[in-house]
Structure 1
Amino acid sequence: MFISPMLLETASGPFSHDNYIFEPKIDGHRLLFSQEDGRIRLYTRHETECTKQYPELLAPFDDDILLDGEVACTDPETGLVDFENVMTRFQAKKEQRIRQLMGISPVTYVVFDILRYKGQDLRKLPLMRRKEILNSITMPNPHFGVLPFVEGAGEALFEQMEARKLEGMVGKRKNSLYMSRRSKSWQKVINWTYAEVIITGYRKDEFGWLTAVPNESGVLRPAGIVEYATQTARKEFFAKSRTLVIGEDKNFVYVEPVIKVKVKIRNWYKSGMLRSPAFVEFVV
């Protein structure tokens, strides 16, 4: 069974509130675990089935159940959650490759909600009651874990997330019902990383700034495409770039590498590219 998951609004910053619980934000991908009539199926938030990608999660519970959580991998060297590793697991299709990756990058399913259990729909119960039910259930193997939370002290938790270089936190109203849409009852606060990059061009057909950063020798290398910027910033850039054009091809217009911007990112990919860069300000 698939149910469209409840989605997060974005909070303006870390906050604390007695009516909220706060959870670490796990840097993996959303996963719904469905066991119906004894059959296990795994789904992404977009209803893409990924059952075969995660054999270590095909362990049965004592009864039919529908869980919501994140599937994640941990880097064995740093001990940190590694988004790229779980994406490698998700994209693997061949059974031999999947089995190989199980040994290299085993996954953990971090469960934070329960939607159905023993034939009962639990979505109209308040969050704290659902948490009680979830915590009363025995997980089927060590690849499953229940996400911890704190009550009220969101800012203190976020400081811990920053210190440990984790993705951020999620605040949830204690009495929130589970709704299959985006809701202010659940809010995320991202622990952004910031970087300065140089714009080297832009897309012709849709918005996107090509960026670069200097390598160890001072030579510019590509760093990815900024796809998020305010309309004011876009207009300012195009006004500045009119006299800086140095060439073009089918997809891009290239400019002299003189316009520098500050961007916020989730982190750096191992390839040296920016992950989800968004414009913050021009650097003068």
Structure 2
Amino acid sequence: MFISPMLLETAHCPFSHSNYIFEPKIDGHRLVFSQQGGTIRLYTRHETNCTSQYPELLYPFDDDIILDGEVACIDPETGRIDFELVMNRFQAKKSEKIQKLTSIQPVTYVVFDVLQYKGKNLRKMPLMNRKEILSGIPMPNKHFGVIPFIEAAGEALFTQMEAQELEGMVGKKQNSIYESRRSASWQKVINWTYVDVFVTGYRKDEFGWLTSVVTESGRLRPTGIIELGVPPKAKSALYGVCKSLVTGEDKNYVYLEPRIRAKVKTRNWTKNGMLRSPAFVEFNLSS
């Protein structure tokens, strides 16, 4: 049985509030764990069945249950949560590869909510009641964990997330019921990294600006594509001045001289030096 998960709105800045609890934001992907009639199925937030990808999570609870949480991977070299590793696990399809990755890149299912237990629908209960029930449920193996939380002190938690270079935090109203939609009762605050880039081209078909940074040796290195956060005025401004900067084109892109600089915010850098989900902030007119 799949239950569409409750989604978060975005808070513009860290906040504290006596009616909220605050949790670390885990840099993995959403996972609904469903055990019905003793059969376990795992789903992404879009109801994609990913049961076969995570054999270490196919261990039964003492009764039927539906959980909400995040599945994540720890980089064995750094001891840090690594989004690319969990995506590597999620994209593995062949059983031989899955078994190999299970031993070298095991996942942890970080549980933050219980939606159904022992045949009872818990979604109309206040969050703190669901948390209390969750705290009393034994986890089936070491690959399951329950996320910690603190009450009221969101800004203090976010300061810790920044210091540890973690993804951010989530604030949840203590009395919130579980709604299968995006809700202001749950809010995320992302620990963004800000980067200055050159806009070095654009897509011909769908929207996207190519970005690059200058390396220590003075060369341009591509860093990905801006697709998010660009307002209509910024699009018009760039396309209004870029005609004189065109250096060439191919089937998919028009390439520009590195004259236009922009500030972007990104969740982090990928291992191959790309910006992860960069969003436009503003043009850098001082450079």
- Normalised-by-shorter TM-score class: over 0.9
**Helix, strand or coil: the match of 1:68?**
strand
Structure 2 distance, partners of 1:267, 1:278, is: 12
How many residue pairs match? The answer is 284
Q: Aligned residue for 1:186?
A: 186
Runs of 4+ in 1 over 4 A off after TM superposition: none
What is the one-letter code of the residue matched to 1:158?
A: F
Structure 2 distance, partners of 1:18, 1:91, is: 41
**Helix, strand or coil: the match of 1:69?**
strand
Structure 1 distance, partners of 2:265, 2:60, is: 41
What is the one-letter code of the residue matched to 2:261?
A: K
Structure 2 distance, partners of 1:269, 1:239, is: 32
**Helix, strand or coil: the match of 1:267?**
coil
Q: Aligned residue for 2:101?
A: 101
**Helix, strand or coil: the match of 2:260?**
strand
**Per-residue deviation at 1:214?**
2.1
For 1:236-251, list aligned pairs within 5 A.
236-251=237-252
Q: Aligned residue for 1:208?
A: 208
Structure 1 distance, partners of 2:200, 2:47, is: 38
Question: Which sections of structure 1, spanning at least 5 residues, go unmatched?
Answer: none
Q: Identity of paired residues, percent?
A: 71
Structure 2 distance, partners of 1:217, 1:105, is: 35
* Bigger Cα displacement from structure 2, 142-151 vs 240-249: 240-249
**Per-residue deviation at 1:195?**
0.8
For 1:33-112, list aligned pairs within 5 A.
33-112=33-112
Q: Aligned residue for 1:276?
A: 277
Structure 1 distance, partners of 2:158, 2:110, is: 19
Structure 1 distance, partners of 2:226, 2:217, is: 24
**Per-residue deviation at 1:217?**
2.1
**Per-residue deviation at 1:245?**
1.4
Give the TM-score normalised by the residue count of structure 2: 0.97
Give the TM-score normalised by the residue count of structure 1: 0.98
Structure 2 distance, partners of 1:107, 1:166, is: 17
Structure 1 distance, partners of 2:178, 2:51, is: 24
**Per-residue deviation at 1:235?**
1.3
**Per-residue deviation at 1:102?**
1.1
What is the one-letter code of the residue matched to 2:146?
A: V
Q: Aligned residue for 1:124?
A: 124
Q: Aligned residue for 2:265?
A: 264
What is the one-letter code of the residue matched to 2:276?
A: R
